[in-house]
Amino acid sequence: MSVSRRGFLQGLGVDRSHAADFMAARGHEEFVALMQQGRQGGRGMGRPNLPPGVEAIRISSNENPLGPGKAAIDAILGKFPEANRYPFNSTPLDADLEILIAKLNSAKRENVVLGVGSQEILKNSARVFMSSSKHLVIPSPTYGDPAGFAQNTLKYTVKTAPVTEKTLKTDLSALLPLVNGAGLVYICNPNNPTGTVNSAAEIKDFIAAVKKQSPTTAILIDEAYCDYATDPGFSTAIPIALSTPGVVVARTFSKAYGMAGVRIGYAIADTATMQKMAKWRMPYNVNTFGVAAAVASLKDPAHIKEESARNKAVRDFTIKALADMGYESTDSQTNFIFTNIGKTMTAAAFRDGCAQKGVMVGRDFPPLEKTWARISLGTMEEMQKATEVFRSVLKSSATTTSGKGR
Q: How far, in Å, CA of 151 to CA of 149, rounded?
A: 6
State which residue, 1 or 19, has the beta carbon closest to other proteins.
19
What is the phi-psi region of residue 181: left when phi exceeds 0, alpha when psi lies from -120 to 50, beta otherwise? left
State which residue, 45 or 200, has the beta carbon closest to other proteins.
45
State which residue, 76 or 175, has the beta carbon closest to other proteins.
76
State which residue, 194 or 297, has the beta carbon closest to other proteins.
297
State which residue, 34 or 345, has the beta carbon closest to other proteins.
34
What is residue 181's DSSP assignment? Answer: T
What is residue 367's DSSP assignment? Answer: T
Task: Report, in Å, the least distance between residue 386 CB and other proteins.
Answer: 13
State which residue, 79 or 169, has the beta carbon closest to other proteins.
79
Question: Which helix (DSSP H) or strand (DSSP E) does residue 221 occupy?
Answer: strand 218-222
State which residue, 211 or 351, has the beta carbon closest to other proteins.
351
Task: Report, in Å, the least distance between residue 331 CB and other proteins.
Answer: 26
Percentages helix, strand, coil for the chain (3-state, rounded to 5) are 45, 15, 45
State which residue, 192 or 198, has the beta carbon closest to other proteins.
192
Task: Report, in Å, the least distance between residue 54 CB and other proteins.
Answer: 13
Task: Report, in Å, the least distance between residue 350 CB and other proteins.
Answer: 21
Task: Report, in Å, the least distance between residue 138 CB and other proteins.
Answer: 19
CB proximity list for 337: less than 8 A, separation 6 or greater? 195, 315, 318, 319, 322, 329, 330, 374, 375, 377
With 0-12 CB in 10 A as exposed, 13-18 as middle and 19+ as buried, what is 406? Answer: exposed
Task: Report, in Å, the least distance between residue 78 CB and other proteins.
Answer: 6
Beta-strand relationship, 57-59 and 359-361: parallel
Chain centre distance of CA 45? 19
Task: Report, in Å, the least distance between residue 83 CB and other proteins.
Answer: 5
Q: How far, in Å, CA of 380 to CA of 50, rounded?
A: 21
Task: Report, in Å, the least distance between residue 85 CB and other proteins.
Answer: 5
Task: Report, in Å, the least distance between residue 367 CB and other proteins.
Answer: 24
Q: Is the dihedral of CA 51, 338, 138, 200 positive or negative?
A: positive
Task: Report, in Å, the least distance between residue 398 CB and other proteins.
Answer: 31
Per-residue CA distances from 397 to 152, 321, 388, 392, 393 (Å): 36, 18, 14, 8, 6
CB proximity list for 290: less than 8 A, separation 6 or greater? 253, 259, 262, 263, 264
State which residue, 346 or 379, has the beta carbon closest to other proteins.
379
Task: Report, in Å, the least distance between residue 330 CB and other proteins.
Answer: 25
Residue 294: name the closest of 111, 104, 76, 105 by CA: 76
Residue 250, φ and ψ in degrees, nearest 5: -105, 140
Buried b (16+ CB within 10 A) or exposed e, 8-36: beeebeeeeeeeeeebbbbbbbbebbbee
- Helix or strand or coil: residue 222? strand
